[in-house]
Chain A
Amino acid sequence: MSAAARYETDGRAAPGRSPAPLPLALVVEGVSKRFGAAPALAGVDLRVNAGTVVGLVGPNGSGKTTLLHAAAGLLTFDEGSIRVAGQPAGSRAARAATTLVPDEPAGFDELTVAEFVALVHALWGAGESARARAQLLTAAFGLGARFHHRLGSLSRGLRRQASGIAALSIAPALVLVDEATATLDPEAVVVLSEALGALAARGCGVLLATQDLHFAGTVCDEIALLHRGVVVDRGEPLELLERHTADTLEDVFLATLGDGSLRERVRDAFAAL
Chain B
Amino acid sequence: MPSPLFDAVARCHARRLRGLAAAAPLPAAAVAILVLAAPIALIRIGRVVGGELAGAMGAEGVQEAVVLGPVLAGAMAGAALALSLPGAAALGQQIGAGPCDRRAAFMAGLVVPVAVGTLAVLPSLFAACLALASALPGGPVAGAALAVAAIAALPAGAVVAEGWLAVIRGMRRCALTIFGGAVAWAAIGAAAGSVYLGPLVPVAAALGGSASPWLALVLALVLALTLGFLWVAAAAARAEPRARAARPPRRLVPRGHLPIPAAVAALVTRRSDVRRAGVGAVGFGIAGTAIGSLGSSPAPGGFLLATTTALLGAMVCSLAVGGALADGGWLWRAAPADRWLIVASGVGVGVAGSALPVVFVGMGAAAFAGTDWPAVGVVAALVIAGSAAALVAGAAVPWRGKGVGDQMATFAALAAIAVAGSLLVGLIAPRLVSLGLPDAVVAGVICTAFVGAAGFALGRRMGIPAR
Give chain B nearest CB distance to A222 CB in angstroms.
24
Q: How far is the CB of A32 from chain B (nearest CB, A)?
A: 20
- Docked-complex contact B328 and A115, CB < 8 angstroms: no
* Contact partner, B324, options A98, A107, A125, Cβ 8 Å: A107
Q: Does A233 contact B (CB under 8 A)?
A: no
List B contacts of A100 (CB < 8 A): 330, 334
By CB atoms of chain A within 10 A, which of B256, B326, B332 has the most? Answer: B256
A95 touches B246 (CB 8 A): no
A119–B327 contact, CB under 8 A? no
| Contact (Cβ within 8 A) A102 B330 | yes
The answer to whether A108 and B331 have CB atoms under 8 Å apart is yes
Residue of A nearest to B254 (CB): A118
A148 touches B256 (CB 8 A): no
**Complex Cα distance A92/B326, Å?**
19
Judge whether A106 is part of the interface by a CB distance below 8 angstroms. yes
User: Is A115 within 8 A of B263, CB to CB?
Assistant: yes
Bound Cα distance A153, B270 (Å)? 13
User: Which B residues, 238 to 272, have Cβ-Cβ distances below 8 Å to chain A?
Assistant: 246, 248-249, 251-253, 256-260, 263, 266-268, 270-271
B435 part of interface (Cβ distance < 8 Å): no
Residues facing A in B320-363 (CB within 8 A) are 324, 326-337
Please count how many residues in chain B sit with their CB below 8 Å of the partner chain's CB atoms: 30
Task: Report whether A74 and B266 are in contact in the complex, using a CB–CB cutoff of 8 Å.
Answer: no
Contact with B along A120-158 (1 / 0, CB 8 A): 111111100001000000000000000011100100000
- Which listed residue (B253, B328, B334) contacts A118, Cβ 8 A? B253
A105/B330 contact (C-beta < 8 A), A115-B263, A115-B266, A123-B336 known: yes
B263 touches A119 (CB 8 A): yes
- When C-beta atoms are compared, the residue in chain B nearest to A163 turns out to be B331
Residue of B at shortest CB range from A130? B256
Q: Which 3 A-B pairs have the closest CB atoms?
A: A107-B328, A107-B327, A96-B336
Q: How far apart are the CA atoms of A93 and B252 in the complex, in Å?
A: 28
Known pairs A92-B336, A123-B337, A149-B248; A106 contacts B330 (CB<8 A): yes
18 further A-B contacts with Cβ under 8 Å, apart from A72-B334, A108-B328, A112-B248, are: A69-B330, A74-B329, A92-B336, A99-B334, A106-B327, A107-B329, A107-B331, A108-B331, A110-B271, A111-B267, A114-B253, A118-B253, A119-B260, A121-B258, A123-B260, A124-B335, A126-B257, A149-B246
User: Which residue in chain B gives the minimum CB-CB distance to A104?
Assistant: B330
Shortest beta-carbon distance from B402 to chain A in Å: 10
Cβ–Cβ contact A122 & B330, under 8 A? no
> A119's contact among B248, B258, B270, B334, by CB below 8 Å, is which?
B258
Instruction: Fill in one digit per residue for B195-216: 1 if any A CB lies within 8 Å of its CB, else 0.
Output: 0000000000000000000000
Name 19 interchain pairs, CB-CB below 8 A, sorted by A. Answer: A69-B330, A92-B336, A100-B334, A105-B330, A106-B327, A111-B258, A111-B266, A112-B249, A112-B251, A115-B251, A115-B258, A119-B260, A121-B257, A123-B260, A123-B331, A126-B257, A148-B249, A149-B248, A153-B246
Contacts of B260 in A (CB 8 A): 119, 122-123
On chain A, the residues within 8 Å of B330 by CB distance are: 69, 74, 100, 102, 105-107
B327: chain A residues at CB < 8 Å are 106-107
Could you say which residues of chain A place their CB within 8 Å of the CB of B263?
A: 111, 115, 119, 122
Is A73 positioned at the interface, with any CB of B under 8 Å from its CB? yes
Contact A73 B334 (CB under 8 A): yes
Q: A100-B334, A122-B259 are in contact. Are A114 and B328 (CB under 8 A)?
A: no
> A residues engaging B (CB < 8 A)?
69, 72-74, 92-93, 95-96, 98-100, 102, 105-108, 110-112, 114-115, 118-126, 131, 148-150, 153
Q: How far is the CB of A143 from the nearest CB of chain B, in Å?
A: 15
Contact B248 A98 (CB under 8 A): no
In the assembled complex, the Cα of A131 lies from the Cα of B253 at a distance in Å of 12
Docked pose: A214 CA to B336 CA in angstroms: 34
* Contact yes or no, B324 A118, CB < 8 A: no
Which residues from chain B contact A131 at a C-beta distance below 8 Å? 256
Q: Which of B246, B258, B266 contacts A110 (CB 8 A)?
A: B266
Nearest CB in chain A to that of B338: its residue: A92
Minimum CB–CB distance for A176 against chain B, Å? 9
Residue of B nearest to A110 (CB): B270
Is there contact, CB below 8 Å, between B256 and A95? no
Q: Which of A92, A98, A118 has the most CB of B within 10 A?
A: A118
> Which of A73, A119, A149, A153 has the most chain B CB within a 10 Å cutoff?
A119
Chain B: minimal CB distance from A86 (Å) = 15
Structural contact, B334 and A115, CB atoms closer than 8 A: no
**CB within 8 Å for A110 and B267 given contacts A72-B334, A122-B257:** yes
With a CB–CB cut-off of 8 A, which chain A residues contact B256? 118, 121, 131
State whether A74 touches B333 (Cβ < 8 A): yes
Q: Could you say which residues of chain B place their CB within 8 Å of the CB of A95?
A: 334-336
**Bound-state Cα–Cα, A122 to B252, Å:** 13
B337 nearest CB across to chain A (Å): 5
> Chain A residues with Cβ under 8 A from B334's Cβ?
72-74, 95, 98-100
Rounded to whole angstroms, the CA-CA distance of A123 and B336 in the bound complex is 7
C-alpha spacing A155/B367, complex, angstroms: 48
Set of chain A residues within 8 Å of B267, measured between Cβ atoms: 107-108, 110-111
Residue of A nearest to B259 (CB): A122
In the complex, A109 Cα to B91 Cα: how many Å? 19
CA distance A106 to B267 in the complex (A): 12
Bound together, the chains give a CA A118 to CA B266 distance in angstroms of 13
Decide: A124 and B336 in contact? CB cutoff 8 A.
Answer: yes
Centre residue among B251, B259, B335 by max chain A CB count within 10 A: B335
Chain B 262-287, CB-CB to A under 8 Å as 1, else 0, gives 01001110110000000000000000
**CA of A124 to CA of B251 in the docked complex: distance in angstroms?**
21
Chain A residues within 8 Å of B259, by CB: 122
Give the CA-CA distance A148 to B331 in the complex, in Å.
20
How far, in Å, is B201 (CB) from chain A's closest CB? 44
Q: Which partner residue on chain A sits nearest B342 by CB separation?
A: A123
Contacts of B268 in A (CB 8 A): 110
Nearest CB on B from A218, distance (A): 27
Residues of the A chain whose Cβ atoms lie less than 8 Å from the Cβ of B328: 106-108
